[in-house]
């Protein structure tokens, strides 16, 4: 059977890396006859931008490992006309041509197109602060940026650094600089790092950073930079204080590169990204846009938002190529699934967070569980905190966040798949996930999250959260701590009465009849069991979801830390994780 050779057309792609390079390769696989031109203003068409900080830290030893495709290899393999160091200056939509400047030869030329794909990416935010262009102030977005930072670190051997911004890049670079023996201060304007996570999940990151000696300044902004007499840089902070350091790393976010699109009359959205339809076409059907510069549909919360992540950009590149080639292809939207490592702690999220749901006016229920990375009797298990958000009416999942040492990646990906599939909380109970002692449990943490949420949805137990406690106590609630006496002594919520769960049946007469009992333990497991006992004896009891651990993450100043966070690897602070009878006996107050 002979394939029909399509008419020769010219497809021009502006920008490489994840979206542009994926689009070019897919176009060639679908159309051997087309003229495909990829224009990239940098010398690199496809590099591992997510690995830059780990190259700087030395974890990735060879720079070449970051180069996913070189222009030479791309030309040989795909027959694409790759033009690096070529910057697109303008788009003439009527003539269907672009004006391009060849940076090396300092020449300008016009390039016609039949279809144009914009993949310009995003640029690091650099607000117009005094002194921001100083020689010791860096941003990290490109391979050239990484080269400059690494060269400075290798030659100058700095001892003190300030990282401004607590997002993905800021956290990664904080770890990177600390790994190189540099004393780091992390400055974040918001009251938490990682705004994609809810505050109580972010608190685990805060305390983990501090455990590793990072000075963390939250709710603090930088107002100016000044060069010191010894050549160092002084960051002037809000509140009148300042920090002197050998270098500053700006990681305060990115902004979509949309000037080219805007000047061509292409529509932009409310967040400043290029507006596209489900086929990734702009308001000009012959011009497509993909990657960090576009707005995409928020699959869980509705509306549109910017999602500067490599995964969606790669998918968009393929879908764009398919649609150009006449294949039915649409991009549904994004969940914003993300993950980051902070020293040996991992934090992952997918779907909507509480802040977004509140802003959108979407009703939700939240629940927490504490699970293990694998079964406790097999050595090396570490705890995980799993938070899920779901609709009280449809019971559909809306979002999830996980924090822990190991296993976060696996479980957040399962939950992202569940979200994409429109699953409900009871569907999580039925998922058949792989199990061997080294890898999981017969009742996986995702299953357990489903069980707990289903208990709430069915009314088997009522719950409350840390931010509701004060009101409930004012309304006459009675706070009951069912942990052991030793745990209670080490720390508890003010006003709580301690009756260990194993003594509950015998001491039930001590409880006030007719009052709402607000029950908690360390993680919510024993208190759930206590609530089931109490409810069947005629008491009105509610369980604190997530227990004292999540309470302390929600109100860290009151608890002076999250219980057991410093000992997570030793698994001494969370119930259900003690693996042997000897360990349970030696640490019975904790386990």
For every residue of 85-123, DSSP letters joined together read TEEEEEEETTTTEEEEEETTTTEEEEEE-SEEEE---EE
* Structure tokens belonging to residue 469: 């406690």
* Structure tokens belonging to residue 325: 């080639």
- CB-based contact 384:412 (threshold 8 Å): no
For every residue of 218-273, DSSP letters joined together read ES--EEEEEE-TTS-EEEEETTS-EEEESEEEE-S-EEE--HHHHHTT--B-TTSS
276-279: long-range contacts at Cβ-Cβ below 8 A with a sequence spacing of 24 or more? 278/330, 278/331, 278/332, 279/319, 279/320, 279/323, 279/329, 279/330, 279/331
CA distance 252 to 242: 18
For every residue of 19-71, DSSP letters joined together read HHHHHHHHHHHH-SSSEEEEEESSS-SEE-GGGHHHHHHTSS--GGGGEEE-H
> In 10 A of CB 436, how many CB atoms?
10
Would you call 50 a catalytic residue per the annotation?
Answer: yes
Between strands 183-188 and 81-84, the pairing is unpaired
Identify the H or E element spanning 146. helix 143-156
Identify the H or E element spanning 396. none
Tell me the sheet residues that pair with 348.
339, 402
Question: Out of 50, 176, 320, 552, which one is annotated catalytic?
Answer: 50
- CB-based contact 20:119 (threshold 8 Å): yes
Enumerate residues 6+ apart whose C-beta is below 8 A from 410: 440
CA distance 146 to 131: 21
CA distance 214 to 211: 7
> In 10 A of CB 307, how many CB atoms?
22
Closest Cα to residue 339, out of 392, 409, 234?
409
Identify the H or E element spanning 518. strand 516-520
Tell me the sheet residues that pair with 69.
46
Residues annotated as catalytic (active site), given as ranges: 50
């Amino acid at each position: 059977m002979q394939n029909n050779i399509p008419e020769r057309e010219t497809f021009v792609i502006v920008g490489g890396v994840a979206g542009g390079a994926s689009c070019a390769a897919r176009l060639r696989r679908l159309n051997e006859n087309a003229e495909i031109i990829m224009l990239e203003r940098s010398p690199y068409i496809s590099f591992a931008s997510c690995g830059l900080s780990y190259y700087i830290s030395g974890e990735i030893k060879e720079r070449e490992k970051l180069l996913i495709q070189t222009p030479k290899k791309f030309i040989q393999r795909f027959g694409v006309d790759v033009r690096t160091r070529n910057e697109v200056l303008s788009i003439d939509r009527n003539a269907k041509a672009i004006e391009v400047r060849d940076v090396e030869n300092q020449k300008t030329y016009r390039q016609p197109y039949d279809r144009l794909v914009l993949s310009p990416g995003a640029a690091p935010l650099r607000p117009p602060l005094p002194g921001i262009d100083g020689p010791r102030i860096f941003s990290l977005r490109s391979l050239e940026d990484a080269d400059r930072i690494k060269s400075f670190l290798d030659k100058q051997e700095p001892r003190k650094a300030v990282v401004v911004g607590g997002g993905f890049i800021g956290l990664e670079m904080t770890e990177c600089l600390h790994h190189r023996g540099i004393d780091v201060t992390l400055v974040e304007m918001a009251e938490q790092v990682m705004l994609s996570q809810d505050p109580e999940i972010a608190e685990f990151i805060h305390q983990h950073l501090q455990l590793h000696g990072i000075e963390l300044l939250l709710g603090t902004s930088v107002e100016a930079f000044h060069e010191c007499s010894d050549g160092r840089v002084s960051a002037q902070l809000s509140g009148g204080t300042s920090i002197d350091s050998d270098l500053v790393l700006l990681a305060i976010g990115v902004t979509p590169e949309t000037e080219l699109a805007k000047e061509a009359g292409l529509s932009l959205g409310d967040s400043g990204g290029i507006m596209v339809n489900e086929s990734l076409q702009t308001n000009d059907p012959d011009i497509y846009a993909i990657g960090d510069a576009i707005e995409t549909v928020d699959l869980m919360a509705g509306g549109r938002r910017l999602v500067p992540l490599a995964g969606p950009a790669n998918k968009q590149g393929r879908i764009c190529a398919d649609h150009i080639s006449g294949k039915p292809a649409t991009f549904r939207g994004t969940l914003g699934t993300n993950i980051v490592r902070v020293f040996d702690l991992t934090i992952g999220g997918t779907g909507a967070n509480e802040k977004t749901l509140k802003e959108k006016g979407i009703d939700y229920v939240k629940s927490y569980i504490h699970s293990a990375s694998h079964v406790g009797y097999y050595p090396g298990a570490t705890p995980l905190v799993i938070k899920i958000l779901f609709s009280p009416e449809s019971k559909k999942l809306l979002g999830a966040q996980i924090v822990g040492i190991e296993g976060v990646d696996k479980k957040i990906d399962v939950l992202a798949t569940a979200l994409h599939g429109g699953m409900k909380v009871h569907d999580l109970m039925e998922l058949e996930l792989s199990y061997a002692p080294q890898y999981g449990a017969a009742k996986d943490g995702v299953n357990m999250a489903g069980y707990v949420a289903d208990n709430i949805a069915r009314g088997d137990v009522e719950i409350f959260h840390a931010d509701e406690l004060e009101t409930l106590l004012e309304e006459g609630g009675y706070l009951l701590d069912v942990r052991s006496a030793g745990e209670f002594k080490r720390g508890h919520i003010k006003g709580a009465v301690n009756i260990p769960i194993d003594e509950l049946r015998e001491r039930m007469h001590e409880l006030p009849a007719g009052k709402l009992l607000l029950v908690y333990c360390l993680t919510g497991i024993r208190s759930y069991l206590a609530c089931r006992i109490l409810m069947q004896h005629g008491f009105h009891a509610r369980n604190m979801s997530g227990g004292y651990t999540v309470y302390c993450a929600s109100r860290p100043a009151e608890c002076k830390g999250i219980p057991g966070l410093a000992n997570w690897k030793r698994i001494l602070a969370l119930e259900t994780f003690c693996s042997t009878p000897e360990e349970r006996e030696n640490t019975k107050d904790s386990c």
